[in-house]
Amino acid sequence: MGARFGSRIPPFSLPGDGEGRPQSWFGPTYLEEFAPLLSWSAKASTVRRVIEKVAGTDATVLVRGESGVGKDLVARAIHAASSRHGGPFVKVNCAALPAELLESELFGHEKGAFTGAYARKPGKFEFANRGTICLDEIGEVPRLLQSKLLHVLQDLQFTRLGGRETIQADARVVAITNRDLEAAIARGDFREDLYYRLNVVEIWVPPLREQPEAIPALVAHFLARFNEEYDRAIELSPDTIELFSHYSWPGNIRQLENAVRRLVVLGGEGHVRDELVSRLRADRMRPANGTRSVAVAPAESADGHEMAGLDSEGLKGIARRAAREAQRAVLLEVLERVRWNRAEAARVLKVSYKTLRGKLTECGIESSRTTRLGSERHTNGDHGKREGGRPLNDGEPLGGP
């Protein structure tokens, strides 16, 4: 049997100033904890480099990406890498409170400002003084409160609810969202001027399915952490790591973390391995946006027997084939739902148009559709037009100004 798997991520070489010296403002927590984690793949390393470029500034950062990709980790890494790492990191969930309570939570209130305000209470901006305030779920901030938040970002000062005293805001702002803010602006739900004020530096955190090479390192990290937390000594076989690497992880890093935690709690890899095989072969896989489940038809041989040759394929072969079948089924389902508009399908699946085209070709979907698409375009009189009537997005999932 091959080597067992249970070690931590390898040590990280310190980021430097171009002459081999570590940057003086990087805090020890960033160097020891965040930098190694943000080196788990080429795309994650790109995110890390952006973090290190903005570390020496107080520029506002907008962190974007799907649920579970590690946006909170990126926000904490920005704080830990900055010269403010010795100050507080204060996180506010903007979706957890109604507008009137959120205003008080952010900016504080004076005694008597509203019913139940029996004493003065400082807000999160005050608690984050000389540190970083993280505005999680920024897209959920009510429209009326967006105006006050905009003025705070512009003027770097505010007043408590019911108060007159002007308080200086000395906190770096990092905002997090998984919402389509551009669509929210178009609907009138989000202020465009606030969007541009927040989006000085934009960091897109890639989903786990776009960086499968990161999975073994992440599993190693979580395994070591939970072994220590639960006083266990669980190890994983190469076959199990292979299964982890072939699953699409629609819940991203959070789902992977919970799977490893469950494995350690239950005392072995057998249960989770069986679950992964079941998921890979299953009749339920989710599109990247998780909006509905998709039935996956079993592969059939010429004589109609389902999943022919399972016994002879071996675990790795089963995993690879099931993953391909599931991916093809998801692509077909989404394409049918958007009437074969590839640009819209790329948006739904949250991948670039180029990535989608590659997946369609890989799954043999593109060639089987070409004739029908050409016929439909001729019939509808839109021959030569780009699908969706708008430019197609071929960009990488990481962006910045």
pLDDT over 70 percentage in the chain: 70
Question: CA 161, CA 115: separation in Å to the nearest integer?
Answer: 12
Contacts of 363 (CB under 8 A, 6+ apart): 324, 327, 328, 331
DSSP bridge partners of 16: 22
Question: CA 83, CA 87: separation in Å to the nearest integer?
Answer: 9
Distances in Å between the Cα of 10 and the Cα atoms of 42, 253, 351 are: 15, 19, 30
Q: Is 320 helix (H, G, I), strand (E, B) or coil?
A: helix
Question: CA 125, CA 174: separation in Å to the nearest integer?
Answer: 12
128's tokens: 């984050």
Residues 13-32 pLDDT 10s: 444 444 443 455 577 778 77
Structural domain boundaries of the chain? 28-206, 217-389
Give the CB-side neighbour count of residue 121, counting CA atoms within 13 A.
Answer: 19
Burial class (CB in 10 A: 0-12, 13-18, 19+), 188: exposed
- DSSP state for residue 57 in the 8-state scheme: S
Residues 132-145 pLDDT 10s: 999 999 999 999 99
Residues 40-78 pLDDT 10s: 889 999 999 999 999 889 999 999 999 999 999 999 999
Residues 216-237 pLDDT 10s: 989 998 989 999 998 988 888 8
**How many whole angstroms from its chain centre is CA 303?**
43
The pLDDT assigned to 233 comes to 86
Give the CB-side neighbour count of residue 366, counting CA atoms within 13 A.
Answer: 11
- The CATH architecture assigned to 28-206 reads 3-Layer(aba) Sandwich (3.40)
Q: Is 243 helix (H, G, I), strand (E, B) or coil?
A: helix
